[in-house]
Amino acid sequence: MKRNWKKLAAVCVCAAMSVTMLAACGGKGEGGSAKSGKTTLTLGIWDEKQRDAMEQLAKAYEKEQKDVTIEIQLTPYKGGEYWTKLEAAATGGKAPDVFWLNVLHLDAYVEGGILADLTDAVKKTDIADSFPETLVSNYVRDGVNYAVPKDFDTNALWYNKEIFDKAGVEYPTDDMTYEDLVALAEKLKAAGLPDGVYPFACPVDFQTWYYQTVFANGGYILNKDKTETGYTDEKTQAGIQCWIDMIDKGLSPSAAALSETTADAMFEGGQLAMNFAGSYMVPEYAGNDAIAEKIDCVEIPTFNGIEDNCINGLGYAVYEGSKNKEEAIAFATWMGSKEAMKIQGETGVVISARTDAQEYFANANPNYHLAAYTNHAEKAYPLPVCPKAAELYDLEATYLQKAYNGEQPLAEVCKELKKEADALLTK
């Protein structure tokens, strides 16, 4: 495989962007044999909240495979540290044998030659028949499978029942439209919320906010061959403008305020009546004693009559340079098994990618309407990705902030954004 380490390093530096919902990690990763004669495989992860689940999976696999030991290596995602260390480790031939990978980084890592070909191994399993086709194809390029789907995240509308009750406003429902969301927010505002409390929040967030409405409105971010962006398309802009309109109406904190304090932090602090949140936020919300018993969620409102939800997730990839590649591939594919997906799902931390294991996420948190995340997952839109994805998302955030802040009209911002983004794609 071609190894383009310089390009890969550049992408890893760009991973420092604030994409918290994209929401994998360096280490020795040399593999080899322990003194006991067992093969030691390293598993690179980035989320402390999932360490327990990964340890349970490691123990289950070790029980089945007596000659294998799994060593978990955790490097934080924040600030791009995970990707930076992974790239450095791969360059030095010491990346983890198996590691978490998201779709955002797939294309660059394929070009860098860091990923092992899992195609034949996947064909020997039931993965093709037991996972949503979108999640499987997320990790396929030119007919080659580079990862086993681990989990997925979609989005839901969360609300604070206490704020609604005090305002005398009805709770959100699963069948709302965008217009219903705005009307509900206006009712809350008219009811007179406490100082510092807003009906909703509209941050410059692509995965959880504006991509959903862009796609539902028939707009696009990348054309099919990924050579041109769609920022100047009227349908694309309408899918972004709808959130700016809510800020302008005073239904959301300003974009500047949300760049300092995240929407999630404001919701957890009782400063928002409603908030969009990815399924990865459930453990944090549920673990926050200040709001845990006051909140619930419903499905994302439709836009232009269309289901508008984005789907993303992680996969288990295998390091091409692993000294124990065959054993690593066997472990990665086992992680997609019914047994493994059940173990992960029952922890309630993420939604297992396997179709027959998705129910465990909701069952683990029965106090909330978490079916809101899975009810229409098959209709969710995958994120637009390309080798320049990380840099593209950074450009979006920089330019769109100007429109959200009211510094420039959205049409002008998108014209400038398209010019620079299209030039980036041609590099």
Mean pLDDT of 336-351: 95
Mean pLDDT of 26-31: 39
- Is pLDDT at 1 greater than 50 in this prediction? no
Q: 3-state DSSP call for residue 404? A: helix
Q: How far is CA 305 from CA 180, 182, 247, 254, in A?
A: 12, 15, 22, 28
Mean pLDDT of 368-380: 91
Beta bridge partners of 208: none
- Is pLDDT at 398 greater than 50 in this prediction? yes
CATH architecture of the domain covering 155-308+388-426: 3-Layer(aba) Sandwich (3.40)
pLDDT for res 307: 87
- Is pLDDT at 300 greater than 90 in this prediction? yes
pTM: 0.85
- Is pLDDT at 6 greater than 70 in this prediction? no
CA-nearest of 396, 403, 402, 393 to 244 is 403
Contact criterion met (CB below 8 Å) for 43 and 97: yes
The 10s digit of each residue's pLDDT in 182-213 is 999 999 999 999 999 999 999 999 999 999 99
- Is pLDDT at 5 greater than 50 in this prediction? no
Provide the residue type at 243 as one letter: W
Q: Is 3.40.190.10 the CATH classification of the domain at 5-153+311-377?
A: yes
**Percent of the chain topping pLDDT 70:** 92
Q: What is the largest CA-CA distance in the chain?
A: 70
Mean pLDDT of 291-320: 95
Mean pLDDT, all residues of the chain = 90
In whole angstroms, give the CA distance from residue 87 to residue 93. 10
17 band by pLDDT with thresholds 50, 70 and 90? very low
| DSSP 8-state code for residue 183 | H
23 band by pLDDT with thresholds 50, 70 and 90? very low
427 band by pLDDT with thresholds 50, 70 and 90? confident
pLDDT for res 183: 98
- Is pLDDT at 251 greater than 60 in this prediction? yes
Query: Range(s) for CATH 3.40.190.10 in the chain?
Result: 5-153+311-377, 155-308+388-426
pLDDT for res 36: 55
Q: Which of 98-107, 231-240, 299-308 has the highest mean pLDDT?
A: 231-240
Q: How far is CA 420 from CA 12, 221, 384, 415, 426, in A?
A: 20, 14, 17, 9, 10
Beta bridge partners of 319: 115
In whole angstroms, give the CA distance from residue 205 to residue 188. 23
Could you identify the residue written with the tokens 């990763």? Answer: 29
16 band by pLDDT with thresholds 50, 70 and 90? very low
